[in-house]
Structures are given as C-alpha cells and as structure tokens.
Amino acid sequence: MLAVVCPGQGSQTPGMLVPWLELPAVREQLEEFSTRSGIDLVAHGTESDADTIRDTSVAQPLIVASSLIALRAIVGDATQTTQSVAVTAGHSVGEFAAAAVAGVVEDASAVDLVSHRARFMAEAAAATPTGMSAVVGGVAEEVLAAIEAAGLTPANVNAAGQIVAAGSLEGLETLAQNAPARARVMPLKVAGAFHTHYMNGAFERFSPVAADWAANDPQIALLSNRDGKAFTSGTHGHGTAREVLNALANQIISPVRWDLCQEELKALGVTGILELAPGGVLTGIAKRSLPDIERFAVKSAGDVEEARAFVAAHGTGN
C-alpha cells in the first residue's frame, strides 16, 4: 500500500531543478507553472541563490512545483496516480502538492493557488518580526509547557521529540534561554511565525481566493494537517473539494499535526512511503517514527528509475 508524501518549506536548495530539466516535458511543465503563478520557476529552480529561494513568495510555489514534476515523472498522469497511490499527505505547503496528487486540483492550478498563499504569508510575516524554532528532544509535555510559558505556539508537531515553536522573537529567545531538559532549541530560517495567529492577515486574504477556486473531490485518500484524518464526507469516502479548500485556508493559522498524519499512515496499513522532491525531511522523520514502513525519498532526477520500482512494489494491488 503506497503513500505519497510532499515536503514543506525549507526543503528547497539552489539549483535543485537543473537535473529535472533534462527529462522530457519538464521544461514545458515548469513554463506552464510559471505562466500560471507569475513566478519564473525555471530561473528560481536553476539560477537563484539560497537567499532568493528562501523568500516565502518564491519558496512555496517552487517546492510545490518540484514535487509535482517528480510525481508525474515517477507515477504518471492522474489516472496512473489513482491506480497506484492509496493515500497522500503533505507537510504545510506540501499539502497543496498533495491536493494535486489526490486530484483535487490540476498541477498548474496547485502552483497558481499556492502562489497566492505564499504572497499573502510573506506580506503578513513582513508586518511583524516573528520566527520559528525547532525543539528537538525532551519530554513532549515538558516541551509544550516551555513553549506555552514563553508565550509561543506549537506550530508543527512533527513527531515525538520534534516540535516547532513559533511566535515573537522575544519569546523565541526566552525559550532558547530556558530550554526544556534534554532538548535543543534551534532557530529556523523562516520569515515568520507560520501556522499561528500572526498569519491572520494572510488567512483573511487567502480564504476568499480558496473558496472560489475550481476544484474536484479527492480521488484518493488525502490526510489533513489538522488531525491526520482523511476528508470523509464525500460519497466516495475521501471528502469534498470545498472541505479541502477550506482546510488549506485554515491551515495558514492552524498547527501542522504531522505526528497524527504518521499515525494514520500506520493505521491504514501503508507499506511504503514515497516522498516527492525535494525529499528527505519527511522520510527522515518516518525513519524514527515508522521504522517498519519502507521509505524512499526523491532527491533528484537521478532517483526516478529506483522510485518507479518502489511504486511498482508498493502500489495499489501489491
């Protein structure tokens, strides 16, 4: 049983799309994505430096585009994806790529939609100096208590021993100076306190955009960052387009519960997790949290053939 997972912001690296452009049709895909989003993803994926692609307004569409290029090169078109993939999920901005995997939006539409989110979040982050820090290790209850004591929010609960705190720079400094026992506090290179009330402005601007977006009901199970569960009110058991779009909007100000997504993958009986490009982070988390499930991270175009074999081994019907 195959799960496809899509990475979030911070996974991008300079030049990461260079090898992908050697594959057939990829340049045309990227040019379409660029036209729809108004962002030169070819240039940002091949020439832009680390500081440029760290910009939220660039990073988010670039990551979603990378994941979807990898998806089509490895799994194939929408029909082939439905035939091979049993469940999908994405971490934060990766949930937009996962929505395309599930057939809620077309690939170019996903990149277009996320470009609005990215712009609104970048502007909200610029309005008030905030940030995020990863708290690695420690006892979960003590970590959460320390985050609350510092006036911060647990924005990402990725797994046992990995929680991301977000909020004011003063609060993050307080947390660093009062780190929980047996835990390390590591500042993250992000523009602001994502998935917190500091993003209310972005949420208010993005919600009407998402509400009017053309979309379809998911064709395969799509797990929500909210609680790890698949959208369930649709007639085919995977929810409705409106539910998904509403969740994508609310995710801007809500914590990412990747720990619950992982629990659901295990409960569903997934045997293989394929992490799309730029892969590595989510399979790294799964290595610790889901050690009995096989994993494959797509890091470059050189991984395509091996990834296809992974899909064949774990795809629907195997």
Q: Which residues are catalytic?
A: 92, 195
Cβ–Cβ under 8 Å, residues 265 and 163: no
DSSP per residue, 180-209: PTTEEEEE---SS-TTSGGGHHHHHHHHHH
- Of the candidates 33, 26, 15, the one whose C-alpha atom is nearest the C-alpha of residue 109 is 33
* DSSP category for residue 218: -
Residue 33 corresponds to which tokens in the numbers above?
């994505």
State the Cα–Cα distance between residues 275 and 296, nearest whole angstrom: 6
Residue 276 corresponds to which tokens in the numbers above?
């799309």
Edge-to-edge strand ranges of the sheet holding 162-168 = 153-159, 162-168, 130-137, 183-187
Token look-up 């720079």 returns 169
Sign of the C-alpha dihedral, residues 175, 177, 178, 184? positive
CA angle 2, 91, 136 (to 5 degrees): 110
State the Cα–Cα distance between residues 74 and 77, nearest whole angstrom: 9
